[in-house]
Amino acid sequence: MRLRSQLAVLALVTLALPWAGCQYVQQMEQVLRKGQEATVLASARMLGESLAETRAFYADEAYLEQGGAADSYAALLRTPILIDGYQDDWSERIGTRHFSAAEGVPFAAQVKIGIKRDAASGDNGLYLYLSVEAPGRRYAVPKVIYSDPVAGFSNLQRAALFEADTLWLQLVQADGTPLHLVVQTAAPGEVSAQRLSFARNDPPLSPYPALRGHWQDTPQGYNLELFIPIDRLGKRFAYSLLHPTAEGVQAIGTALEGRYSPRQLVAEIARQQQPPGYLVEPSLLLQQRIAGLGMADSRLLLTDPYHWVLARQGRLSDLVLPGYDSAEGIMAIIYRWILDDTNRLQLIEQDPGRLKVPEVSQALAGEAAVGWYRFADNRAVVLAAYPVREQGRVVGAVVVQKGTGDILLLANEAWGGLVRISLLVAALVLVVLVGFAALLGWRIRRLSRQAEQVISEGGRLAEAFRASRSADEIGELSRSFARLHRRASQYTQYLQGLSSKLAHELRTPLAVIRTSLENLPAEGEGAEREAYRQRALSGVDRLRSIIDAMSEARRVEQSIANAEQLSFTLDELVAGMVSAYADVYGKHRFQYHPPVAPLPMRGDPDLLVQLLDKLVDNATGFAPAGATIQIGLRSAGGEYELSVTNPGPLLPDTMQQQLFDSMVSLRPSSPERHHLGFGLYIVRLIAESFRGRVEAQNLGSGDGVVFRVFFAAP
C-alpha cells in the first residue's frame, strides 16, 4: 500500500472523534432523562398528596373487574357535535376503540364515545361515532345490507329483524329499567332507533324518538353517528354491531361477539336483561381540581382503582425535531440509530380511557413508579404514577406523562453540531494528510532517484550527493546517504591508492636488493662489498617489516576473536602504562588526567595495552622533542573516554575519517622506520571489540591533535 493510501486510512481514525462525541451525547441524554424522571415523579407526588382525601374517585363497588373489555369509556366533550355521519368535529384526543371479527372475516369497526355534561348547554348526552367495514356476503366488496321499510314483524318473527346491518344498544335508563334499542336504516341519511321488546303483549319494535342519528355510506362500509339524551342514561351500557352473512350473523362489540344464527341471536339478546359492561365517564369535580395544573409538553391523568381515566389535563406536543425528519436523509438515519431509542421502548397501549401499565398498577398498590414508553408514532414519553389515598387506602393514582421533546431537542442540537464539526475536522485532516503524503512521497521518490544515480552503469560512484537541508527524518536520511556516499568515495579512493602504495612499498626494497646483488659479484673484497651486502640486508629487513605489520593486524584480529574476558580497572591500567611511557620515550613528557572514580572494565587488558601503545607511538611520532603528551580518562554519559593529545601538525580535513583504515599513514618514512599505516587501524579494531569507537580531531587552538576512544561502560 502506498504512503498516500496509508495516511488516508490513518485519517479515518479521526472518525473516532464523532464516536466519542456520540458517547458523550448519549451520557448527557441519560443524565437529562434521569433529571426528567425525578422532576416528573416529584410533580406526581405533589399532585397525589394534594388530592388526598378527595371524595370524587369512584368507590370500589361501582365497577366489576370484567373478564373481557365489556366496559365502555365516554370521553368528556367540550365542543358541540353535529350529528351528520362525519367525524370532522370529533377531537383527535378522543380515543378510538377497535373491534374486528374473528376467523378472518373482514368485518371491523372503529368506535368513538363521548359524553357531554354542560349545565349551560341543551345538547348534553351520550355521543357515538362508529366507522364500520361491512363486506358483502362473498367478502369481495363492501356491501351494506339495508332493512326492508315495509316489512312487519310479529313476536314470532324477531329473528327476521337481523337480516340487515344493525346496531344493537343495551342500556339501563336513569330510572333503572333495562332498554334494548335497534338502529337500522333503509337508506343512508337520518336514522332513528326502535325499541326491541320481548314482552308477550308488546310489539317487537316500537319507535324510540329520543335517539337521533345519521347513517353515511363509505367505500369500506358505513359511518353511524348517534346521540342519546343525558336523562335517559344510567350506569350500564353496551353495544354490538351485527352483520348478516351466509354463515350467520357476525357480532362485534361489548354486548356480544361471535357468530350466531338469527334464532340464537334473539335468544341471547332476550337472555341478557342487564348490559355486561359499565359506562365509565370522567369526573367533573376531579377535572375542575386539576384544571390549570401540569407542565409544558405534559399530560396529567387521574385514574380510579381499575385504571380508568377520571380526569385529564394538558397534552403532549407533536414536536418534530430539526434534522429528524425524512428530508435529512442519512443524517436522520444516523441520528435515530445513535440517539433515538424509542424503538426499544415498550409501546403504550392506546386503550380509550384506560391506562393499564405496570407503573399505574404499582401506584394503585401503594408505591410510586416511573417508566419510559413510546406511542405508535414513536414519540417517547416518561410516565410517573403516584398513589392517591383516602383514609389510608388507595383510591386512585396520579399519572404524569412528560414528552421528551426538550431532551431530544438538546441532544439533537448537540449531535448536529458535533457531527458537523467532526466531519469538517475529519475532512480537513484527510485533505491535510493526503497533501502531506503527496509531499512526503515526492521527497522520498526524489531521494530514491538520487540514491539510484549515485552509482553509474559502469559501477563508479557519482562525484557528489546533494544532501537535503530539511530538519525532519527524511532530511536526516538524505544527509546520512550523503555521509555514506562521502565515506564510500573516500574508501574507494583508498582502495584505488592501496595497490600503488603497496607496490611502491614493495618495489623500493626489491630494487635495493636487486641492485645490491647485481653489483656484489663484480666487486672484490673490502668495504664496498660490505656496503652492498648491508644494503641488501636492509631491503630484506624492510620487506620483513611490511610482512610483519600486515601479520600483526591479522594477529590482532585473531587475538580479539580469542580474547579472554577478565575484570579489571581501566584507570589503574592506564596509570601504570603512563609511568612506563615516561621511561621509554625519554624525549617527551607525559601528563595523566585520571578519572574522579574507578572505571571497572571487562575484557582482555592486553588488547587495551596494545591500543594505548599505538596511540602513544603515533603521538610521539608527530610531537616535537620536549613536548608534553596529555593522556586523559573520564566517564561521561554511560561511556568511558580515553584521550591522547599531542602538539604538532594538524590533520587534513579529508583524512580525519581515513586515518583508521589499513595502510593509511601521514608520517614521512625514514631510513630507520617505515610506517605502513597499520597502527591506527589496529586501534580501531580493538576499540570496536570493546563496543567502542575512535575518532581524531584537530585541537581548537590549532596547535595539535587529539585522539579519543569511547568504550561502552559495563
> Quick one: pLDDT band at residue 503, thresholds 50, 70, 90?
low
Other Cβ atoms closer than 10 A to 64: 12
* Burial track 489-506 (b if 16+ CB lie within 10 A, e otherwise): beeeebeeeeeeeeeebe
- In the chain, the percentage of residues whose pLDDT exceeds 90 is 18
User: What confidence category does residue 498 fall into, taking pLDDT thresholds of 50, 70 and 90?
Assistant: low
Determine the pLDDT at residue 61: 45
Give the CB-side neighbour count of residue 385, counting CA atoms within 13 A: 26
**Does 180 score more than 50 pLDDT?**
yes
Nearest to 318 by CA among 299, 301, 336, 331: 299
155 falls in which pLDDT band (50, 70, 90)?
very low
Backbone angles phi, psi at 417, to 5 degrees: -65, -40
588: amino acid identity, one letter: H
Do the Cβ atoms of 686 and 608 come closer than 8 Å?
A: yes
Which has more confidence, 211 or 175?
Answer: 211
**Cβ–Cβ < 8 Å for 180, 170:** yes
**Would you give the DSSP letter of residue 317?**
-
Residue 369 has pLDDT above 90, yes or no: yes
Question: What is the reported pLDDT for 711?
Answer: 92
Which of 218-232, 369-383, 479-493 holds the top average pLDDT? 218-232
Model confidence at 449: pLDDT above 60 = yes
In 10 A of CB 240, how many CB atoms? 22
**Distances, alpha carbon 16 to alpha carbons 20, 37, 323, 559, 624, in Å:** 6, 31, 22, 60, 72
pLDDT for res 599: 93
Residue 43 Ramachandran class (φ > 0 left, ψ -120 to 50 alpha, else beta)? alpha
Indicate whether 316 pLDDT > 80.
no
Q: What count of other Cβ atoms lies within 10 Å of the Cβ of residue 27?
A: 10
For 295-309, 574-588, 654-668, which range has the lowest pLDDT when averaged over its residues? 654-668
- 232-244 pLDDT tens trace: 888 889 999 998 8
Q: 535 or 441: which carries more pLDDT confidence?
A: 441
Most confidently predicted of 17-21, 331-335, 355-359, 515-519: 355-359
Q: What angle do CA 427, 326, 332 make, to 5 degrees?
A: 40
What would the mean pLDDT of 500-507 be, rounded to a whole number?
Answer: 64
pLDDT digits (tens, 9 = 90+) for 582-630: 888 888 999 999 999 999 999 889 889 989 998 998 898 889 988 999 9
